């Protein structure tokens, strides 16, 4: 077991890549402790009796365990990964955990590996959450065990927790049974986390994606599937080449397309706003656009490959020098050389982010 202690915070502004990699674990530790302001805290229950020991967990009297995820799900699996961390330390049934995405609140849900902004990128979700989610789960578990011990008048050491059930000889209870009682207790500042040899979910081959079935059956609801009263869709007519600019456009035909509500000029082109995607696309097709391509340069993957190859043949700048390294590179026992090429493309999602 490893206790979590408070080591304080540090300014991450201007941190180097090497220093960042060296200190990621410590950054995660700080994040694991930043669950609420300092001082005595209780796992406040709303009028419904919901147990919320920190910003990431809710346990309702009906035994629903909800994980609030602060990272965006882009198919990389945070819904499963973070739920696994929580279930591991909470000793919950992983398959029963509901996932909910956090509201806009950088103070509670900021990514400290990205300067505290509320965002996801750079493969930071797990590094950010490794100790944070586990600590959140361990806190909730400790409170539930304490509530059970008080109700049953037994030592906390006599209580076992397995897949959402607390038990001691002669007594059993679900998380939901103890939610209201646990909500009135003070959240512990320090908790003990499992050692890897005690893991039942983390790193196990039989731990499966929690969203796989819904995605495979078409039940999953993506951002692009969401409809709201009065919701409109916009598509953009972009320049035909980099460096091209719009000189004029005629939207009269586009406005005649059924469902088109507005045509708006934007710095990069022209946006067509309509009741749905198909209507917006048909409206865009009906636009009369005039582009100035005189400032557009020839840009293609092939040209970029050639440019990079020419740059590689030029003398570079020495950033770090080591006599030992220079000697090994001058006469290596084995030399392996390879060239990797990647096409020029947009690093962007095809659909709205979830």
Q: Are residues 232 and 184 in the same domain?
A: no
Q: Are residues 88 and 187 in the same domain?
A: yes
For residue range 117-145, what is the model confidence (pLDDT) as tens digits?
A: 888 888 889 998 999 999 999 999 999 99
pTM of the model: 0.64
Q: Is the pLDDT of residue 25 over 60?
A: no
Number of domains, the chain:
2
Q: Which pair of tokens denotes residue 86?
A: 């929580």
Question: Residue 93 in contact with residue 163, Cβ under 8 Å?
Answer: yes
CATH number at residue 163: 3.30.365.10
230 DSSP 8-state letter: T
Full domain range(s) for residue 250: 223-354
Q: Are residues 138 and 234 in the same domain?
A: no
| pLDDT classification of 324: cutoffs 50, 70, 90 | confident
What lies within 8 Å, CB to CB, of 226 at 6+ separation is none
* CA-based radius of gyration for the chain: 27
Percent of the chain residues past pLDDT 90, beyond the cut: 47
Question: Residue 136 in contact with residue 57, Cβ under 8 Å?
Answer: yes
| pLDDT classification of 351: cutoffs 50, 70, 90 | confident
Identify the domain boundary among 191, 217, 243. Answer: 217
Q: Are residues 73 and 99 in the same domain?
A: yes
Q: In the prediction, which pLDDT does 354 show?
A: 59
For the chain, how many residues are written?
A: 354
Q: Are residues 205 and 310 in the same domain?
A: no
CATH number at residue 339: 3.90.1170.50
Identify the domain boundary among 217, 232, 259. Answer: 217
For residue range 271-295, what is the model confidence (pLDDT) as tens digits?
A: 999 999 999 999 999 999 999 999 8
Identify the domain boundary among 217, 248, 271. Answer: 217
Q: Are residues 165 and 241 in the same domain?
A: no
Q: In the prediction, which pLDDT does 353 show?
A: 65
Q: Are residues 228 and 354 in the same domain?
A: yes
| pLDDT classification of 10: cutoffs 50, 70, 90 | very low
Q: Is the pLDDT of residue 38 over 70?
A: no
């Amino acid at each position: 077991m490893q206790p979590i202690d408070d080591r304080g915070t540090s300014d991450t502004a201007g941190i180097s890549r090497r220093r960042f990699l060296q200190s990621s674990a410590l950054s995660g530790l700080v994040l694991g402790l930043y669950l609420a302001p300092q001082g005595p805290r209780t796992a406040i229950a709303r009028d419904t009796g919901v147990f919320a020991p920190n910003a990431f967990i809710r346990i309702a009297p009906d035994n629903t365990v909800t994980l609030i995820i602060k990272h965006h799900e882009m198919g990389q699996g945070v819904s499963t990964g973070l739920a696994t961390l929580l279930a591991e330390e909470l000793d919950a049934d992983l398959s029963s955990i509901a996932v909910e995405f956090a509201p806009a609140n950088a103070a509670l849900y900021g990514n400290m590996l990205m300067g505290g902004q509320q965002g996801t990128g750079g493969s930071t979700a797990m590094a950010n959450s490794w100790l944070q989610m586990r600590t959140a789960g361990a806190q909730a578990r400790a409170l539930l065990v304490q509530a059970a011990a008080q109700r049953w008048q037994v030592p906390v050491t006599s209580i076992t927790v397995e897949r959402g059930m607390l038990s001691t000889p002669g007594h059993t209870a679900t998380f939901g049974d103890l939610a209201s009682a646990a909500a009135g207790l003070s959240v512990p500042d320090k908790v003990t986390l499992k050692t890897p040899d005690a893991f039942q979910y983390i790193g196990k081959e039989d731990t499966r994606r929690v969203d796989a079935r819904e995605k495979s059956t078409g039940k999953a609801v993506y951002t692009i599937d969401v409809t709201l009263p009065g919701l409109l869709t916009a598509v953009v007519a972009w320049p035909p080449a980099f460096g091209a600019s719009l000189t004029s456009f005629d939207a009269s035909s586009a406005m005649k397309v059924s469902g088109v509500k507005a045509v708006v000029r934007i710095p990069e082109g022209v946006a067509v706003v309509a009741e749905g995607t198909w209507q917006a696309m048909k409206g865009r097709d009906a636009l009369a656009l005039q582009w100035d391509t005189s400032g557009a340069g020839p840009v293609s993957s092939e040209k970029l490959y050639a440019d990079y190859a020419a740059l590689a043949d030029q003398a570079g700048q020495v950033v770090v020098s080591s006599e030992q390294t220079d000697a090994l590179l001058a006469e290596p026992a084995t030399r392996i050389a390879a060239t990797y090429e990647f096409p020029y493309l947009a690093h962007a999602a095809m659909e709205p982010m979830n």
